[in-house]
Amino acid sequence: MSKTKKKPKDPASMRVLFVTPECYPLVKTGGLADVSAALPPALNRAGAEVRLLLPGYPAVLNGLSDLQPVGKPLTDLPGTDRPGSAPATLRIGRTPDGVLAYVLDAPALYDRPGNPYLGPDGKDWPDNAERFAALSWCAAGFAAEDGLDPWWRPDVLHGHDWQTGLIPAYLELRPDRFAGPFRPGTVTTIHNIAYQGLFGAWMMSDLGLPSAAFRIDGVEYYGGVGFLKAGCFYSDRLTTVSPTYAHEIQTAEHGSGLEGLLATRAEALTGILNGVDYDIWDPAIDPHIAARYGAADLGGKDLCKADLQATFGLDRRADAPLAAVVSRLTGHKGLDLVLEAASQWIAWGGQLAVLGNGEPALEAGFRHLATWYPKSVGVRIGYDEALSHRIQAGADLFLVPSRSEPCGLTQMYALKYGTLPLVRRTGGLADTIVDANPAAVNDGSATGFQFVNANVQELTWALRRAAALYRKPERWHAMQQHAMTRDFGWHGPAEEYMELYRAVAPVVVG
Ligand code: ADP
Ligand code: GLC
């Protein structure tokens, strides 16, 4: 879809504006924050010049250092023309990791406490459409003739999830506003197709979209304005976060209604597996855990297990297989199956530690389970970054029974901690875990346990296989050591993104 204009010869490296609604440690609701923190430095190491663009939540404005305004106040952002609104300003600073980050400081849109998407009542903020249209508008502004930062023009605008879906739509539909000396390439990454950003048709003009674009070959989606749909339609290239999910989202079962469009864009869609930031997720250097350890000497892991059992009030039994969950508690994570299978696991002598928050029914279910089996089940409802590390280190088995999982990061973290993942074979879980079938155990390639269909019988059978293997310590240790030496670092994925950027960036002439 690219109407590539030539870009003057410029010896500088690939300039990428990485537009994301979350970035660890500033603001995090899930894996996108981890990706946004680790991928830009990996791209910079691969020769790119990446800058972030983030919404100006209080935690972002407070967390960036050396903040300076860039250019004049922004006067035409969607959603900022309310009476009494403070003017919006673009600023630039540095993340705690030293990456340069622009921040859209628009108090009318982002100066609110708590969760970035939900109000205190647990419901979406009523102006989420304007809040993220403004972020996309701001990103598109970098391409305009009077570019938002005249000293830095990106070659590529790379947006993440529905919150940034309008970026390529603005470039395409508003040349009056965003045409510039050259048109940057556009990439949209789908981290989870289930979240689509669907808003009322009546918002078209408030969002700065021409009414003619309200059609199936445009931003219209099931009678409304679809932000992710727009991204999928107008972006030069699309990526998602694992090869298997790239196939799955072209099917009715996983495509959430976008499968038809994605199938027509199959040539433009790539699955690039996420990586792990081993500066943060490595038991050899992790400051949060009771004792440090590595693949060569797993001794410290026993201490971590004892620490975890004590923290969760579980029986201090070194020989009890301890399974763990660290997750958002939502339907697609499949944790209702864990609730159902738990009694059987406990009957086999297993223990369970759960950290998560989300849907009230699942929270209540896990609380109830812990009351029922106080010595075998421990549950923390909430969000606790440090505890999530201690769980990774202290557990034997890490459960990710997702109904769908675009990539999933926690199972890759678990591998590094020698905590064998038990996963459903879907999305990135299928791509990262090798099932301990007899052949794979014998040839040493197994790293965890998989089950195929999302039902309690299959989960229970996988738990049974795990419990049986746990009783063969030599085989279990061999599998742990193999799991710990798998390399899911960001280097490879960063190279794949670089190749994609080269394919969409404006052509260099001169
Ligand atoms: P998703 O993005 O779908 O939630 P991922 O596996 O990609 O799934 O990423 C989840 C991230 O959020 C991981 O870093 C995980 O450790 C973290 N996480 C999830 N729930 C919690 C929690 N309750 N407390 C601390 N960290 C959590
Ligand atoms: C989404 C997905 C998860 C993925 C993460 C980072 O939240 O649900 O599977 O790992 O994004 O890409």
How far apart are the CA of 22 and the centre of ligand 2, in A? 12
User: Which domains are delineated in the chain?
Assistant: 10-272 (3.40.50.2000), 299-485 (3.40.50.2000)
**Ranges assigned E (strand) in 233-295:** 237-240, 269-271
Looking at ligand 1, which atom is closest to the CA of residue 356?
A: 23
SS (H, E, C) 177-206: HHCCCCCCEEEEEECCCCCCCEECHHHCCC
How far apart are the C-alpha atoms of 175 and 155, rounded to whole Å? 17
Half-sphere exposure of 181 (CA within 13 A, CB side): 12
Per-residue pLDDT at 251: 97
How far apart are the CA of 494 and the centre of ligand 2, in A? 17
CA angle 204, 209, 213 (to 5 degrees): 90
How far apart are the CA of 198 and the centre of ligand 2, in A? 19
Give nearest CA residue, ligand 1 atom 22. 383
Pocket test for ligand 2, best of 24, 245, 274, 277 (most atoms within 8 A of CB): 274
Per-residue pLDDT at 81: 72
Per-residue pLDDT at 370: 98
Per-residue pLDDT at 76: 87
Per-residue pLDDT at 122: 85
How far is CA 375 from each of CA 283, 326, 333, 347, 460, rounded to the nearest angstrom? 26, 19, 25, 12, 21
404 in the Ramachandran plot: left (φ > 0), alpha (ψ -120 to 50) or beta?
A: beta
Give nearest CA residue, ligand 1 atom 4. 30
Mean pLDDT by 10 residues, the chain (510 residues): 58 87 95 98 96 97 97 85 78 96 96 89 92 97 94 97 98 96 96 97 96 97 97 98 98 96 98 98 98 97 98 98 97 97 98 97 98 98 97 98 98 98 98 97 96 98 98 96 98 98 83
Q: Does residue 386's CB lie within 6 angstroms of at least one atom of ligand 1?
A: no
Q: Which of 246, 61, 238 has its CA nearest to residue 162?
A: 238
Pocket test for ligand 2, best of 35, 39, 191 (most atoms within 8 A of CB): 191
Per-residue pLDDT at 170: 98
Q: Does residue 355's CB lie within 6 angstroms of at least one atom of ligand 1?
A: yes
Q: Does residue 92's CB lie within 6 angstroms of at least one atom of ligand 2?
A: no
Joined together, the tokens standing for residue 494 give 């960063």
Using CA atoms in the order 353, 357, 359, 365, what is the torsion angle rounded to 10 degrees? Answer: 30
Per-residue pLDDT at 114: 80
Burial of 25: CB neighbours in 10 Å, binned 0-12, 13-18, 19+: middle
Q: Does residue 408's CB lie within 6 angstroms of at least one atom of ligand 1?
A: yes
How far apart are the CA of 331 and the centre of ligand 1, in A? 15
How far apart are the CA of 35 and the centre of ligand 2, in A? 9
Half-sphere exposure of 201 (CA within 13 A, CB side): 12
Per-residue pLDDT at 481: 97
Per-residue pLDDT at 2: 46
How far apart are the CA of 390 and the centre of ligand 2, in A? 21
Beta-ladder partners of 90: 70, 104
